[in-house]
């Protein structure tokens, strides 16, 4: 007897696997399957260098979950943190998800910052080659752009000049090496402070709050647009722009506090590619 055997396809074909790999997306509302991952690298403004590793965690029907580890830096402010992403709906070519970004970091002269961003992402895919995504999101930032009085007092005690057995206010290296004089604008005659710094005078209304040594807290809504184009099954290129026009500025993106920037006021748009 002669039996002709036929190959039984029990999984995706090679072409289907290649299509799935080409459609992997880092910026859309579509999450990654378990075992899949993407690596992003970019340059842009106001963060000059950006990198992220995203890996899939859960896939149950329409629901998906992945998580990314993200780093972004302007060289004076470097942040690292997590970016969980949830897929809620996927009806090709449309998908809808929710992005959450939680970052923390800092930089020289006791700078530190905290970022929280959350918003929905709606994506339209053009076949397996292009993803176009829109994400309106809420951003909350808490930035310390100047050393606090307590930071300076502690530094004066270790690196400053001693007068009568006590450190001279503002004589330590932290105070004398501030990048920007604007940090000292409120020091002279600071009310309710037993530790009087020499300062340069008193100014008000330059940046939305009277004392630059206090934390800057900014809350605003932004709109982000992103496009991803698959060049091959293993490589895609992307471009992203975002902005918050007609809203409060984030002072950490201005030359008043960050000498890496040229603009005294925050630009209305920025992005990366």
The verdict on residue 66 lying in a domain is yes
User: Which residues, listed in sequence order, are joined to residue 133 by a DSSP beta bridge?
Assistant: 123, 226
175 shares a domain with 86:
no
32 and 50 share one domain: yes
Residue 158 included in any domain: yes
Tokens 């074909």 locate to 13
Integer-rounded Cα Rg, in Å, for the chain is: 25
- Would you tell me how many other CB atoms lie within 10 Å of the CB of residue 189? 11
Q: Identify whether 273 is part of a domain.
A: no
CA-nearest of 129, 29, 140 to 86 is 29
79 shares a domain with 179:
no
Q: Residues 201, 221: one domain?
A: no
Give residue 8's pLDDT. 83
Q: Is residue 243 part of a domain?
A: yes
User: Which residues does the chain have with pLDDT short of 50?
Assistant: none
| 138 falls within a domain | yes
Supply the pLDDT for residue 28: 95
Please tell me the predicted confidence (pLDDT) of residue 29: 95
Both 31 and 64 in one domain: the answer is yes
Half-sphere exposure at residue 5, Cβ-oriented, CA atoms within 13 angstroms: 3
pLDDT at 15: 81
Same domain (yes/no): 31, 101: yes
pLDDT tens per residue across span 170-224: 899 999 887 678 888 888 767 667 788 887 666 655 677 778 888 999 999 999 9
Q: Are residues 117 and 239 in the same domain?
A: yes
Instruction: Give the containing element (helix H, strand E) for 232.
Output: none
| Predicted model pTM | 0.88
The residue among 41, 51, 38, 49 whose CA lies nearest residue 85 is 38
| 187 and 247 share one domain | no
- Give the residue carrying structure tokens 């799935």: 20
Q: Tell me the residue range of the domain where 252 lies.
A: 14-145+214-263
Determine the pLDDT at residue 192. Answer: 66
Tell me, yes or no, whether 86 and 45 share the same domain: yes
pLDDT of 44 reads 97
* Strand ranges inside the chain, DSSP E: 37-45, 49-60, 63-73, 78-91, 94-107, 111-126, 130-144, 162-163, 166-167, 216-230, 236-243, 269-272
Classify residue 79: in a domain, yes or no: yes
Q: 61 and 153 share a domain? A: no
Straight-line distance from the first to the last Cα atom of the chain, in angstroms, rounded to the nearest whole number: 64
Which domain-ending residue is among 171, 192, 210?
Answer: 210
Q: Are 76 and 111 in contact (CB under 8 A)?
A: yes
pLDDT score of 125: 94
Residue 6 lies in a domain: no
Is 135 found in the same domain as 75? yes
Cα 135 from chain centroid?
Answer: 15
For residues 44 and 91, state if they share a domain: yes
pLDDT at 205: 58
Q: How many domains does the chain have?
A: 2
């Amino acid at each position: 007897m002669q039996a002709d055997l036929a190959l039984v396809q029990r999984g995706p074909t090679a072409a289907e696997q290649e299509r799935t790999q080409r459609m992997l997306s880092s910026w859309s509302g579509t999450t990654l399957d378990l075992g899949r991952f993407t690596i992003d690298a970019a340059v842009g403004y106001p963060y000059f260098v950006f990198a992220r590793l995203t890996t899939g965690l859960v896939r149950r029907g329409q629901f998906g979950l992945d998580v990314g580890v993200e780093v972004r830096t302007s060289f004076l402010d470097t942040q690292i943190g997590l970016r969980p992403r949830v897929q809620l709906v996927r009806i090709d070519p449309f998908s809808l998800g929710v992005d959450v970004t939680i970052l923390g970091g800092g930089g020289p002269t006791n700078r530190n910052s905290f970022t929280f961003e959350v918003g929905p992402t709606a994506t339209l895919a053009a076949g397996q080659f292009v993803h176009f995504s829109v994400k309106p999101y809420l951003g909350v930032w808490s930035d310390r752009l100047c050393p606090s009085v307590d930071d300076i007092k502690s530094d004066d005690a270790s690196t400053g000049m001693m007068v009568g057995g006590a450190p001279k206010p503002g004589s330590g290296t932290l105070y004398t090496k501030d990048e920007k004089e604007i940090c000292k604008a409120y020091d002279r005659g600071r009310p309710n402070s037993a530790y009087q710094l020499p300062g340069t005078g008193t100014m008000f209304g330059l940046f939305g709050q009277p004392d630059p040594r206090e934390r800057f807290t900014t809350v605003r809504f932004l709109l982000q647009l992103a496009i991803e184009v698959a060049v091959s099954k293993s490589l895609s290129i992307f471009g992203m722009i975002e902005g918050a026009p007609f809203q409060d500025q984030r002072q950490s993106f201005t030359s008043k506090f960050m000498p890496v920037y040229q603009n005294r006021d925050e630009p209305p748009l920025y992005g990366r590619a």
